[in-house]
Amino acid sequence: MITCFDIGGSSIKVAVAHSPDKVVAGRTLPTPLHDFEAFVATMQTLIADGPPAAHQLVSISICGVVDPETGALKCANIPCIDGRTLDQDLEHRLGCVVLVANDADCFTMAEAVAGAGRGHRVVFGAILGTGVGGGLVIDGTLLTGAGGYAGEWGHGPITATQAGNPAVDVPRFACGCGQVGCVDAVGGARGLERLHAHLHSTTLRSTDIMAQWLNPQDAHHAQACQTMDCYVDLVAEPLALVVNVVGASVIPVGGGLSNVKPLLSRLDSAVRARILRTTHAPLVVPSQCTVEPGLIGAGILGLNKAQA
């Protein structure tokens, strides 16, 4: 039994993990962004809600990347912990062992053990949310990689400059990571909006673009269809490359865009048409740990550490 957290820029969620299949969620409190003392106090408050037996180890899913060699955390969304060796700082303050992991990695671990990836040797988890993220689990082991970066298919100058049918020119949009042409710049909700604005000189929310795409009677259906055709090309090609490189047999998808099932169906068909291996089984699938996958993944990683 351990305490696990899912910490993002808006909220801190807590749970007690009894086993990979039994993670009991507790309260949610706002995340203090600029005051580390308040950040620690919030965690202490939530820990105190749980049973004392769960306090020996705390496992955290967080919206940042931990360098496995130095322990330093890169977390732009929460300035008060950015650059800290958070596990050591919290161990000193909380008086217990602390494990810190990237939220996309925790999502992938949850899906590999308790979700859509159960029974698969190689699981690549993809996040299509505000931006694009990912993680990789092989034989039940999470791969973190040099500097903590593994599974980050959202970044790197890789996107095509033509997409859709008939093909249209697409610029290599600047990405927040400092590069141009990243999947993150077109593949998340903000990227979809950016792509639609480029193609049609119209600013719409991603939800509105999806609604127009799914409604043939909508006056702007044709525009939305062109945007989605381009989107699928731009996202499916790098995702197919990931499959060829790592040999994943399933790609559970999370994030807000994953809730649009016709989109995942289109991506699945497009990815399977572009990979070397012939398979008729679905490859790009909805995540199954739809309730708090960060908590589940953090719980699994923490339980594994406690049993090591």
Largest CA distance in the chain: 62
- State how far the Cα of 91 lies from the Cα of 93, in Å rounded to an integer: 6
All structural domains of the chain with their residue ranges: 2-106+291-307, 118-286
DSSP 3-state of 112: helix
Rounded Cα–Cα distance for residues 232 and 223 (Å): 14
CA distances in angstroms from 168 to 145, 163, 199, 229, listed in the order given: 36, 6, 9, 10
Taking the CA of residue 215 as centre, how many other CA atoms within 13 Å lie in the half-sphere pointing to its CB? 10
Measured in residues, the chain has a length of 308
> How many Å apart are CA 34 and CA 236, to the nearest integer?
38
CA–CA distance, 296 with 106 (Å, rounded to integer) = 7
**Residue with more model confidence, 114 or 68:** 114
From the CB of residue 306, how many other CB atoms can be counted at a distance below 10 Å?
A: 15
Residues 251 and 137: their CA atoms lie apart, in Å, by 11
105 closest CA partner among 267, 236, 293: 293
Q: Is the dihedral of CA 193, 129, 186, 279 positive or negative?
A: negative
CB 250 within 8 A of CB 123: yes
Q: What is the pLDDT of residue 42?
A: 97
Q: How confident is the model at residue 145 (pLDDT cuts 50, 70, 90)?
A: confident
Dihedral, 112, 117, 123, 125 alpha carbons, nearest 10: -80
Please give the structure tokens belonging to residue 2. Answer: 């351990």
User: What does the pLDDT read at residue 176?
Assistant: 86
Q: Is 65 within 8 Å of 73 (Cβ atoms)? A: yes
pLDDT tens per residue across span 156-168: 899 999 999 999 9
Choose the weakest-confidence range: 53-57, 105-109, 155-159, 245-249: 53-57
Confidence category of residue 275, pLDDT binned at 50, 70, 90: very high
CATH topology of domain 118-286: Nucleotidyltransferase; domain 5 (3.30.420)
Q: What is the pLDDT of residue 177?
A: 86
Q: What pLDDT, on a 0 to 100 scale, did the predictor assign at position 69?
A: 84
What DSSP character marks residue 100?
E
Q: Indicate whether 274 pLDDT > 80.
A: yes
Homologous superfamily of domain range 2-106+291-307: ATPase, nucleotide binding domain (3.30.420.40)
Least confident of 62-66, 92-96, 246-250: 62-66
Tell whether the model's pLDDT for residue 195 goes beyond 80.
yes
Which region, left, alpha or beta, applies to residue 174 given φ > 0 means left and ψ of -120 to 50 means alpha? beta
Q: Distance between CA atoms of 219 and 200, rounded to whole angstroms? A: 14
Cis, peptide link before residue 166, omega less than 30° from 0: yes
The reply to whether domains 2-106+291-307 and 118-286 share a CATH topology is yes
pTM for the full predicted model: 0.92
pLDDT average, residue stretch 56-79: 90
Query: Bridge-partner residues for 23, per DSSP?
Result: 17
**Do 298 and 110 form a contact (C-beta atoms < 8 A)?**
no
- What mean pLDDT, rounded, does the chain reach? 93
Q: What is the mean pLDDT of residues 231-260?
A: 96
- pLDDT value, residue 292: 84
